[in-house]
């Protein structure tokens, strides 16, 4: 469904993404993992139209626009890093903004928000509260819920687990899994701490210094710790490192 061919991103003369290829099928959950600075976030931002890039990105065979405000209208939603809620707006208003690209108004918003409130009941309790005053976990719920309200075919989530308690991460991932199963929304999860994401993903990409070094079933990465470690720590040191850890 979502395909990228030769995706290249450069900050001035410095290339951070060296023409990678990605394929995500409809309804699939894919993990994009890799060490710090591998180019994961750049990949997401390029696809979502926040970063200028070269290469071809298509959704359902149609080329995606290059401006973020247009990409979302095509059915691709990005949840950026850092829980970017609209802090002075209420939870409800944040959610309405999520449905902005669908032409949402207050009229009929209750029905629209119902599925989100169902998966995140905490949001319903706090729907009139300022988003800036929510806890970190609640804010992450809100940004995910907000992204889902644009009724995307695929949602890209950047560093879901960053700064959250492990239990909260687990809850969120389970929710995503459930939503995926119910609604068939595809999901590209970017994670530095890979383990949790690999549990729910069916396939995985391993990114290293701007290049894809592994593409295959998520289960293999999850089980073969050595592959993962070599990716994060570089060849040679991997085995020793993992030995020490054991």
Partner 1 sequence: MTKLIQTLIIGLEYGCVYSLIAMGMVLVYRTTGVLNIAHGGIGVLAGFIAWDLNTLRGWPYFPAIGAGILVAVAAGLLFERFIVRRLAAPALATVATLALFLLLQGLVFVVPWWGNTWGQVFNSPFANKQVAIPGADYSVSWDQLILFGNVLLFFAGLYFILRRTRVGLAMRAVSDDPTAARLMGIRQKLVAPVVWGLAFGLSGLTTMLLAPILLLDNTSLTAFTLKALTVTFVGGLISLPLTVLGAITLSMLEVSTQLYLPNVKGLSDAWPFLILIVVLVARFARGTKALEDTAVAPA
Partner 2 sequence: MAYLGSRRLFVLLTAGALASAACGGSAAQRAALKVQSQNQAGTNAAAPGGGGYSGGDAGASAAPAEAGAATSDVAGSSPGAGASSSGSAASPAAGSNSAAKSSSAAAQPATRSAAGSSGGSGAQSSGAGAGKVLPGGSSGPTPGAPTPGGPPGAGSAVGGATDVGVTANSIKVGHIGIYSGPVGSFGDDLSYAGRAKLQEINDSGGINGRKLDVLVRDDAWDGTKGMNAARDLVEREHIFAFCCIMSVNTSDPLTPYADEHKIPHIGADGWGEPQYKGAWTFPVSASAVTEAHMLAKYQAEKQGAKRVAIIYINNPTGRAYVKAYEEVIKKFNGEVVFSQPATFDDPGTTTFIAQARTQNIDTISTYLDPGIFTRLVREAAAQNYKPKNAFSGAAGLYFQVTPNFTGPNGEGTIAATHWVTNDMDTPGYRAYKAVVEKYYPKIDHSTWTKGGFVGASIFGNALKSLGLEVTRQRLKDTVDTLSNFETGLGPNISFSPGHHRANKTIYLAQIQRSGDKFEFKYIAGPLVDEYAETN
Residue 230 belongs to what H/E stretch? Answer: helix 225-233
Instruction: Among 87, 108, 216, 234, indicate the residue that binds partner 2 (CB under 8 A).
Output: 87
Angstrom distance (rounded) from CA 198 to CA 117: 26
Nearer to partner 1, 163 or 234 (CB): 163
How far is the C-alpha of 191 from the C-alpha of 165, rounded, in Å?
15
Distance separating alpha carbons of residues 34 and 48, to the nearest angstrom = 19
Residue 83 burial (CB count, 10 A): 23
Would you give the binding string for partner 1 spanning residues 116-155, x where CB under 8 A is met? ----------------xx-xxx--------xx--x-----
Asked if 31 contacts 218 with a C-beta cutoff of 8 angstroms, the reply is yes
Does position 170 bind partner 1 by CB under 8 A? Answer: no
Q: Which does 165 bind (CB under 5 to 8 A by kind): partner 1, partner 2, none?
A: partner 1
Of 11-19, 22-30, 44-52, 194-202: span binding partner 1 (CB under 8 A) = 44-52
Range in contact with partner 1 (rule: CB under 8 A) among 24-32, 84-92, 118-126, 208-216: 84-92
Whole-angstrom Cα distance, residue 130 to residue 143? 14
Which does residue 89 bind out of partner 1, partner 2, none, counting CB within 5 to 8 angstroms by kind? partner 1
Which of these, 93, 88, 63, 67, lies nearest to 78 by C-alpha position?
A: 67
Kindly state the number of chain residues that form the binding site for partner 1, as judged by CB under 8 A.
38
Nearer to partner 1, 4 or 72 (CB): 72
What is the residue whose two structure tokens read 């593409």?
215
Instruction: Choose the one of partner 2, partner 1, none that binds residue 73, judging by a C-beta under 5 to 8 angstroms depending on kind.
Output: partner 1
Contact set with partner 2 (CB under 8 A): 87-88, 132-133
């Amino acid at each position: 469904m979502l395909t990228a061919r030769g995706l290249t991103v450069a900050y001035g003369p410095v290339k951070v993404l060296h023409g990678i290829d990605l394929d995500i099928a409809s309804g699939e959950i894919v993990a994009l993992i890799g060490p710090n600075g591998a180019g994961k976030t750049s990949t997401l931002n390029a696809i979502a139209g926040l970063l200028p890039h070269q290469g071809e990105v298509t959704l359902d065979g149609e080329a995606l626009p290059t401006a973020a405000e247009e990409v979302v209208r095509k059915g691709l939603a990005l949840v950026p890093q850092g829980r970017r809620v609209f802090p002075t707006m209420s939870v409800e208003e944040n959610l309405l903004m999520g449905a902005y690209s669908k032409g949402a108004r207050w009229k009929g918003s209750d029905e629209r928000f119902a599925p989100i409130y169902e998966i995140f009941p905490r949001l319903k309790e706090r729907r009139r509260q300022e988003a800036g005053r929510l806890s970190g976990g609640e804010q992450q719920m809100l940004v995910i819920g907000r992204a889902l309200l644009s009724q995307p075919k695929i949602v890209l989530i950047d560093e879901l687990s960053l700064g959250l308690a492990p239990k909260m991460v687990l809850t969120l991932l389970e929710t995503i899994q459930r939503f995926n199963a119910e609604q068939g929304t595809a999901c590209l999860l970017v994670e530095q701490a890979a383990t949790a994401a690999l549990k729910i993903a069916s396939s995985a990409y391993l990114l290293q210094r701007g290049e894809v070094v592994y593409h295959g079933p998520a289960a293999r990465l999850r089980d073969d710790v050595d592959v993962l470690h070599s990716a994060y720590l570089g060849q040679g040191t991997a085995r020793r490192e993992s030995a020490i850890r054991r």
